[in-house]
Amino acid sequence: MDRIEVAKIGDGENSLNKNERFVKQITPKSEDFSRWYVEIIRKTEMADYAPMKGMMVIRPYGYAIWENIQQLMDMRIKDAGHENAYFPLFIPESFLRKEMEHLEGFAPEVAWVTHGGQEELEERLAVRPTSEAIIGSMYAKWIQSWRDLPVLINQWANIVRWEKVTRPFLRTTEFLWQEGHTAHETAEQAQEETIRILYLYKDFVEKELAIPVIEGKKSVREKFAGAEETYAIEALMSDGKALQMGTSHNLGQHFSKVFNIRFEDREQNLQYVWQTSWGVSTRLIGALVMSHGDDSGLRLPPQVAPFQVVVVPIALGDWKKDVLPWAEKINLDLRQKGIRVRLDSREEYTPGWKFSEWEMRGVPLRLEIGPRDVKENRCVAVRRDVQKKEILNLDSLVQLVPDLLRDIQTSLFHQALDFQRRNTHWAEDYEEFKETIESKKGFIKAWWCGDTGCEDKIKEETMATVRVIPIRQEEEEKAGRCVYCRKEGRELVYFARAY
RNA sequence: CGGGGAGUGGCGCAGCCUGGUUAGCGCGCCUGCCUUGGGAGCAGGAGGUCGUCGGUUCAAAUCCGAUCUCCCCGACCA
């Protein structure tokens, strides 16, 4: 027998400790969601507040998650044909001014550099709130011919936006992200790229972060300043609010016209390039917390967890001789298999303490090994996603663990998907809409005439906004009437209150 | 940026209203012993100019003013 399920922790007949919460230092989610969120971030040592308003320090445990996200995302971006580069942090004010909608969109949140040393600058420099302008100015130099296209460049960088209200990872004054900037020969190619990246993001977030998303177009109100069209992926957090997880913009020729990015096409006509830009940020880490976390803390998807497995030797009797070597062997064997594993043989903490600590930190799988296990050539495995204990045979451990990790990854996704489905509601009319947003929260699918006036009214009265207009409209549903004004509904959209 | 709440050893808090011994408590931390299968026990110990700046007073954690930061609820945003 390779695997035997022995008990589910926390409830049921076989429960080791009925109804007991092992991690007791976190405010329950149901009691105060914001507090729960911040406590998890601080107590797991993902991040800490810096002494300046709205800024945080990403600590090693949080940064390790970001590095995993980066690595997996970078691979996908490169596989899709892009290259990495790096552009300056400072952008001359005149560059931002070239695209007025862009400037106006970002003006309230730009940090300005006015002095170099003691001297006042001739022209203020913006600390990049995004890099379309500086990159556009360079593309103008680099692109002359259709043979230079497409240009497919990505940059990993920090961004500064002087936000008024901040929250760790979700919205901080400075944050880390990836921004892709591409230039194409035709409008069609730019649109294709926009959509390709949208689905790249969707696939990444669903497969690696185990968070289901709805993909679609943004309304005019929610569109990126300076874009022709903005597309986004939106996920539902476990408090019923939506979070934008990534955006992909079709910039059309807005920036190429102001930065004069021209090329001679195949018919020898001088043309402006068609551009896109797209990004995901450290906000994804906040989404991990809010999607998967529970009252015991984090539950990290194995794909991005700093440690996928933690091995806890049980120190009984002459454990350094009888137990530790086995724990070390498990550690090594798993490591050789490419699994991120942490052996916790610290003597100053009891096993119970370690169990709680690693649960709070969201390690997907814990392996416990004590003298009794060694005698029977086995260990105890505890899954973080379902809090179930199983007994695993040591000989087959190295084969079993990757399977277990895969199970945990998909189980987290399905739990989140199930939550999303249970919290997506239809609203036929505005009364139902208001009732649902108050009592049930979550996504509300409803018909919308496409008019910004209706969108504004709904937002004003319910705090809900158009999150996305799904790309694939559900054909079987023939057009209904706008949930607000009752005019012919053009589009079926997802509304929600959002972060 | 509006409305509300809060800053006291690393963390969570009490003390403040009604100014006055050496500023307490729980957790954590250090040392030792003993322990370790779900956050052990005992003994000893370290650590605080009470967010910051200024004012009132013989005397300020406590009263007054300013300022910074955090949290919650709204308007703006990845």
List the CATH number of the domain containing A405: 3.40.50.800
Q: How far is the CA of A331 from the C1' of B4 (A)?
A: 52
Residue at A307 is within a domain: yes
The answer, yes or no, to whether residue A367 has pLDDT greater than 70, is yes
State whether A42 and A104 are in the same domain: yes
> A146-160, A313-327, A462-476: which has the minimum mean pLDDT?
A462-476
Range of the structural domain that residue A488 is part of: 424-496
Q: Which of A210, A224, A78 is nearest to A202 (CA)?
A: A210
Residue with the larger pLDDT of the pair A225 and A336: A336
pLDDT tens readout for residues A401-444: 999 999 999 999 999 999 999 999 999 899 999 999 888 889 99
Q: Which of residues 65-84 of A touch strand B (CB under 7 A)?
A: none
State whether A170 and A250 are in the same domain: yes
C1'-nearest nucleotide to the CA of A462: B74
State whether A256 and A366 are in the same domain: no
Domain boundary among A363, A385, A409: A409
Q: How far is the CA of A36 from the C1' of B43 (A)?
A: 37
The answer, yes or no, to whether residue A96 has pLDDT greater than 60, is yes
State whether A306 and A287 are in the same domain: no
State whether A266 and A322 are in the same domain: no
CB contact at 8 A, A250 and A127:
no
Helix or strand run (H / E) with residue A291: helix A283-292
pLDDT at A231: 96
State whether A217 and A350 are in the same domain: no
**Cα separation of the two ends of chain A:** 48
Domain boundary among A409, A444, A463: A409
State whether A164 and A193 are in the same domain: yes
pLDDT tens readout for residues A56-92: 889 999 999 999 999 999 999 999 999 999 999 999 9
pLDDT tens readout for residues A343-354: 999 988 999 999
C1'-nearest nucleotide to the CA of A177: B78
CB contact at 8 A, A280 and A312:
no
List the CATH number of the domain containing A491: 3.30.110.30
State whether A91 and A211 are in the same domain: yes
State whether A372 and A470 are in the same domain: no
State whether A85 and A171 are in the same domain: yes
d(CA A456, CA A462): 10
A386 touches strand B (CB under 7 A): no
State whether A76 and A195 are in the same domain: yes
pLDDT at A430: 92
Residue at A29 is within a domain: no
Q: Quick one: which residue's CA is nearest to B76's C1'?
A: A164
State whether A342 and A443 are in the same domain: no
A107 touches strand B (CB under 7 A): no
pLDDT band (50, 70, 90) for residue A17: very low
A172 touches strand B (CB under 7 A): yes
pLDDT band (50, 70, 90) for residue A477: low
DSSP strand E in A349-476: where? Answer: 365-369, 378-383, 388-393, 424-426, 443-448, 465-470
Q: How far is the CA of A101 from the C1' of B72 (A)?
A: 33
d(CA A253, CA A259): 10
What is the pLDDT averaged over residues A371-378? 95
**How many distinct structural domains can be found in chain A?**
3
Helices marked H in A132-250: 132-142, 187-207
Residue at A414 is within a domain: no
Sign of CA dihedral A47, A313, A388, A68: positive
What is the pLDDT averaged over residues A16-36? 71
- Give percent of chain A with pLDDT exceeding 90: 74
d(CA A277, CA A406): 33
What is the pLDDT averaged over residues A237-248? 94
Residue at A107 is within a domain: yes
pLDDT band (50, 70, 90) for residue A475: low
Q: Quick one: which residue's CA is nearest to B37's C1'?
A: A314
Residue with the larger pLDDT of the pair A197 and A53: A197
